[in-house]
Amino acid sequence: LAVKAAGLRATLGEISDACEDVVGRYKAVIRTISGVYSNETKNDPDFLRARKMVEEFAKREGRQPRIM
């Protein structure tokens, strides 16, 4: 259908709109994965020091630090 529409000089936007009407818009599923980096660096001295600093910050401030 899209190839035929392009052959008839339909714009990409027109083709996309028509496809969306037929099959709907794609919605990605977002999955959060945690612990991947800490598994690989669990014995690294710099990582352990940073982790300790985060724990101390969380105790002091009552929340996890934010990265901006």
How many structural domains comprise the chain?
A: 2
Same domain, 15 and 42: no
Residue-level pLDDT at 16: 95
Nearest Cα to Cα of residue 55 among 47, 45, 64, 46: 64
Same domain, 27 and 40: no
Residue-level pLDDT at 37: 79
Same domain, 27 and 42: no
Same domain, 27 and 6: yes
Same domain, 27 and 50: no
pLDDT tens-place string over residues 11-57? 999 999 999 999 999 999 988 887 777 788 888 999 899 999 999 99
Q: Measured between alpha carbons, how far is 54 from 60 in angstroms, rounded to an integer? A: 10
Q: Which residues form the domain of 7?
A: 1-31
